[in-house]
Amino acid sequence: MLKEKDTLAYCRGDDNLTGLHVLARTPGCGCQTPRCRKHVLPFYKETPILKLVKRMWEIVVSLDEQMMMDILSEPSQVIFIAAEVGNFEFLSVVLSTYPDLIWELDAMDRSVIHIAVLHRHASIFNLIHEIGPIKEFILTFKDDQGNNLLHYAAKQAPPDQLNMVSGAALQMMLELSWFEEVKKIMPLSSIEEPNSFGIIPRQVFSEEHEELREKGESWMKRTAKSCMVVSTLITTGVFTAAFSVPGGINDANGGTPNYLEEAAFLVFALSDSIALISSSTSILIFLSILVSRYAEDDFLMSLPLKLMSGLLALLISIISMMVAFSSAFFITYFNGVIWVPNLISAIAFVPIPVFIFLQFPLWSDIVYSAYICSFIFRPSRRMIH
């Protein structure tokens, strides 16, 4: 239809919207769920929607400048619609052809970068690294209330962006990561610059995130307490098993274990010791979480790292405990029907993949928040070609 009639590119519907307004709200990427949007892909396929955007934009940009700006600005500004929903592909097409649009401001005197930071779209925020020296001017822009870019990073993210990870503590970590990343590129004079109400960015962050910080503290303590109970039970069990020697003791030989020379007994001794050490370590780690001060900066690295270390130690203790149980069972019953201890030993490892499967979402969120998150602020593909 567009090939037959070019004017369709800027015709308006009953709602006074053009095709570009509609396409700006329709990102070309197929997956739009929060978990799918975690990673900024370095390559993307040119979809039919993206081809349509390119063709319509070619037609609109060929018009005279006044008419083009009217199409882009009425009833609302197209580039800000795209920035709000995170439509990277749309903005890439538009800004590559007409980079001067980067200077456009909305009704509240906000740039595309301000909108991207407010809605936590890292791929669009990374545009700041492509525009060269003029970024110093954009970083000084203020909205109609005197808020600079760091004030926008200090505001709480929309719910759909917060829900990219589970747990208020990890959400708090993501918010801190955004604040610190924007802070890195801000001029020193703007970091402590107050807005029209006399509030500096850090104060805005504390006020906006106080409830999230409290929820994060509560979530972290509940998680640590639950894991600590499991670790304590494992420690108690493997400590008792260390003095309940499988196969009994030979009193005639000085009280040495009957199967001391067997390989299975060595496996039991090593795995039981590892289980005791790792479970005790996890108890100490979870205890340190419980007694933490829970300041804002603790959520950036300290608390997630402790939680990840505690879960790793707990996993090691569970694996070692099941190995110790299997070897002890094998030593005790291997003189009977041989398939019975073999079967029980194999079934004993079922809790390990179950634990990994159930805890994997939490693990992936911790790893993403602690390590992978930092990579989303490193441009993997250019917006302006």
- The mean pLDDT value for 291-298 works out to 90
Residue intervals in the chain for CATH 1.25.40.20: 6-212
Q: Which CATH number fits domain 214-374: 3.90.79, 1.20.140, 2.120.10, 3.40.50?
A: 1.20.140
Which residues, 6 or more positions from 210, have their beta carbon under 8 angstroms from its beta carbon?
none
User: What confidence tens digit (pLDDT) does each residue in 302-326 have?
Assistant: 898 899 899 999 999 999 999 998 8
Residue intervals in the chain for CATH 1.20.140: 214-374
User: What confidence tens digit (pLDDT) does each residue in 234-266 have?
Assistant: 999 999 888 887 766 665 665 666 666 677 788
The full DSSP string for 93-106 is HHHHH-GGGGG---
pLDDT value for 380 = 61
The residue that leads in pLDDT, 267 or 333, is 267
Question: Fold for domain 6-212?
Answer: 1.25.40
Dump strand ranges (E) for the chain: 249-250, 256-257
Which residues, 6 or more positions from 280, have their beta carbon under 8 angstroms from its beta carbon?
231, 235
Task: Give the integer Cα–Cα distance in Å for 181 and 186.
Answer: 9
Average model confidence (pLDDT) for the chain? 83
Task: Give the integer Cα–Cα distance in Å for 131 and 137.
Answer: 11
* Residue 340 confidence (pLDDT) above 70: yes
Q: Is 199 exposed, middle or buried (0-12, 13-18, 19+ CB in 10 A)?
A: middle
pLDDT value for 372 = 63
pLDDT value for 343 = 80
* Residue 271 confidence (pLDDT) above 70: yes
pTM of the model: 0.80
